[in-house]
Structure formats: C-alpha cells, structure tokens
Chains A and B, each alone.
Chain A
Amino acid sequence: MGYDGKKRYRWRILIGQVALLLACLGMIEYLVRAEIVGSLYLSKPTQVAEEIYKLFADGEIFHDLLVTLKEFAAGYLLSAFAGIATGMFLVLVPHAENFFRPFLSALLAIPKVTIIPLLMLWLGIGLSHKVAIVFLFCFFTIAFNTITGIKQTAEAHLKVARVFEASKLQTIVKVILPSAAPTIFVSLRVSAATGLVGALFGEMVASKDGLGNLLVQATSLYDTAKAFGIITVVTVVSVLIIGVIDLLEKRVVLKWKSS
C-alpha cells in the first residue's frame, strides 16, 4: 500500500466511524421522538446539545467546572509528587521497601470509597475533602509504578555511571529517573482518569458545588437531558486532561523511544 493508498484507507475508516456515530445518535433521536423510549430514561441528542449550550450560555457551569478542576488538580499534583517521592524513598533507601511494603500494600487494599464518609467527618465537605479523595485514588498507583520503574533501571546503565564516578544524586537524576520515566508516565495517565472520577464521586456524595453536585441535582429533578449534557462535558474534560499528559509524555519520554 503506497502513501496515497494509506491515506485513502484512513479516510474511508473515518467516514465509516462518523456514519456509525450519526446512525446511533439518529436512532436515539427517533426512539425518544416516537416515544418508544420515555424522555425520562433517554434524551434526544438535539435536546442534550441544547442543554450543553444553555449550561455554557448562562455561565452556570463555569463555577462548578472550576471547582472540580481545582479539586482534581490539587489532589493529582499532590499525589504525583508524593507518589514519586515515596516510590524513590522506598527503593533508594536500603531496607525501606522491605520494612514499609506490607503497610503500603494494606493501605492499597482498602477500597478507597469506603473512607469517603470518614473523610467527610474529618475534613468537612469542601475542597480539602475532595483533594484528599483524589489523592487517595491516585497516590498508590503512582508510588507502586515508580518502584517498578526504578527497578527496571538496567544494570549496565548503572555500571556506566559508576565508571564515570557519578555521585548518588547524579545517578538518581541522570540514570534512575530517566529509566523509570516511561513506567511513571503510565501511572500518571491512569491516575488522571481515576483522579477525576474521585473528585466527581466525592461531589456526588457530599458537596455544595462542582460538576458531580450539578449532576446529582439534575438527576434528582429528573432533568435527564441536562444530566446527559453534564456527562458529555465531564467526558470532554477527562479526554482533555489525558491529552495534556500525553503531550507532556511526548516531550519528556517518547522522542527517544523506538516506535
């Protein structure tokens, strides 16, 4: 297949995908319009689009969007730094991993959602509550992946550093962290998605604002179209966040990876 052939192939696939999407949306539109499915259960895509437009037009959503993003960003960044630092500490300090591993594994095993009510008791239902939830959702994955990544450092690469009389710090910065970077990024991408889930879930359980709260309000008023609108917005936010991390990964890691 030549270059033109590949291009044509890609276009055909894309046209097919768009067609399938439109067909699905059209089908739902028809089912709801013809009242085969009640508008309480499903919403016409056109009406959902209208609701999304309204959410942005009257500015209602901006406040909640900002709240959710703030909770996510704070919790996520905190867990990224703490997770990477913890992982490094455990591997690089002799005996630390052997000593702390069972504790960490036990904490990891606790289903995080079960602590949310307790966190509410300790932290209230504001920002710090959600930040803590996001942190708990992300921290362990990042810490464990950092440990795995560091352990993947090639023995031969460490030997090279020793021949050049690298200091401990130089070895960490110039050899160990770059070796671990791909594995750490995998966990950063995975936790970005779960972290957002944490923030939204926290808001749905107990909060005064945020997208999760907005969603609960919409569903409790049986405003199905608005609920679908919010779900769409949340999905786009999630995709954008992962996009940002992919971009970061491309800058840091992928330029040297053989594809």
Chain B
Amino acid sequence: MSSITYGGYGGRVRASNSVWHGWDRFDYVMVFAAIALVIYGLLLIYSGSLPWYEGPVASLNNPSAKQAMFAAVGVVAMLVVSKIDYHHFIHYSWALYLIGIVSLLAILAFGSTEGGAKSWFTFGPVQVQPSEFAKIATILLLARFFSEHGGDARELKALLLSLAIMVPVVGLVFIQPDLGTSLVFGAIWLGVVIVAGVSRGHLLVMGAIFLALLPFIWTFGIADYQVQRISVLVDPNRDPLDTGFTTLQGEIALGSGQVFGKGFTQGDQTQLEYLRVATRDFIFSLMGEEFGFVGAMVMFALFILLLMRGIRAAQLAGDTAGQLVAVGIVMLILMQTFINIAVNVRLFPVTGIPLPFVSQGGSSLVSLFVSLGILQSIVMRHRAYRQT
C-alpha cells in the first residue's frame, strides 16, 4: 500500500510498476497452445454451423465470428488479469466465493432451463453460467484456506474444513442438476489436496465413505434425465431417437472419421445434422469425423502442452497459495477436457460440459482465458514471492 508511486524513475519501482514490466516471464507457449485450440475450435464451429447458420459468412452473427470476438475479449481479459497480482484475488476469495454461492442460488430460482438442467442466466443475447465463476472462486478460496493452514492438508481437521468449502458449491451445482460440473469440482478439490500433501490414509477412508454413499446419491440425488443418460451410455440403441440418438450419432461420426477424417466441412454426419450440438458438447465428434485420429492427436498435443505449461506455473509458483491456485486451474481445464471427450467417446454419460477453448460458447471461453490470466500472473511473479 505504501509503495504507490507515480512517474518515478527508480529502477525497481519503475520496472515493477510499468505495464511493460514482467512480460519476459509471460508464458507465451501456454498462450500459443490456448489460441491454437481456439482457432481449431473456430474452424470446427464454422464447419458445424454450416448446416444451420444461414446468414452471410462475414457477419458478426456468424457463430465462428462471434466465437472469435469472445476469444478476443478473453485474450484481453487474460492480459489484464495477468498484470494483476493474484494475491488480490486470493485476498477477496471469500467475497468472490459468497457471490458465487448467491448466483448459484439465484439460478435455481430464475435460471433458464436447457437439457433438463438450470445453469444459465440469460441477459439479452448473452448467456452467463455462474458455475464458471464459482469454479474460479472456489479454487481461490481453497488455495487460500490451505496456504493459511501451513500450506498442507496433512491434518484431518484441515481436510474436513476444506470439504466444508466444497459442499455448498458442489451441492448447488448438483441440484441444478449438473452432474458433470459437480465432478469437475470434486476433481479440483482432489487435485488441490493431493498437492497440498493429504495423507493417503485420510483419502482412502474418505473414498470408502463416498463409495458407500453412492447408492443413495444414485437413488435420491440424481435426476431422472441423468439416470436416462447413463443408461443410454450403456446401450444407446435402447432409445435411438432421443438421448441415445445424440450419443449414437456422436459415436458414428467420431468413428467414421477413421485415421485422416473425411475432410474439413466434408463430415456428412455433421453436415446432414445427424450429429446434434455439433459445435458445443459434441464438437470433439465433429473434429473426429472431419479430421480423424490424426486431428485428435493434434488436439491432444495442444491440450497436453497447455496443461503442462499450467503445471509448470504451479511448479514455478512463488508460494503455496499460487501453487494451489495453479493446480486448481489445471485440474479445472483437465477435468472439463477429459469429461467432454469421454462423453464423445462414450466412456461417460452426456453431461453438458463444453470442450475448453474449443466448444462454442462465450461465457466458458472468457472465464478460461481469465483462468489463464491467473496462471500468467503466478508465473510472472514467481521470483518476487520466492525471495521472501
């Protein structure tokens, strides 16, 4: 607070205050991977929107143009956030967390329903998904919590208290109902506590308790549409024209791409609209159909590169809080990616989780870039805090 200086030319002060400062440590590789994924997504969204988008190509209504705009907004947000010390966010994490909880509550009351779940706010043309915000807020709060408790989760008390942070958000997301996002939250928590050094015994006991509770969750906690989605996963032919249709056609699209794919805009599953939500949840199937196994491997490589750079951020982080935030964000991206692709390859029931950076959807894209901004903030400041 005391170091607010205007227009000074003192070496360290000037350097640290300048907008131009710190970019040498900025992780350009990470940003390259993210932007490559976004461009990959733009191509896919263009192809996937051909059958239903009827307006001119060069128009802001064009879904790929819109997505590009959101990406631009996202990149700017990332740059801004990366210039902000992440400790500001950690400092206000309680407030952010409470806002998250309130917005999740609000959505249960006023949200728009899509695919059986209430997870959107609609403000005119913009749809906002508060769980995106809540994810980041929760990561920040978890990091803060553990860093205040000696930076580890070895004590059972700390572990249980951290669970108390999770329960309200996960519960609210779960009753939307959004099984997939609940799982993402779970994975974030798991990743954070593992890196925070949880004892293996504690984790095993908690896992056992969770398994024992699973049947009750299945019976009382899961909405009918989710049960249906899971049973369709087992046998999509059971209901070939409804939920199963989506899964089945996704599987056919993906499989039929074979090694090299059918070619850009040549996937007939997509172009003839057999593949549903081709630019959102099933964009991976669209990619698989048009670019094949090779295209999938390229995409995997980009994701792995991005995630590894995220882990690098965790490695470099100057303090525990930064490290745990980085871990949480890596887990967030990893789990969303994994669940989305697992749905596409029929390893997981349909959940409605978009493919990070690739799927059409502004709210997810912007919040992902904000997360990257936080990672950048951690990387750009690692030396500053390491030294103290």
Chains A and B belong together in one complex? no
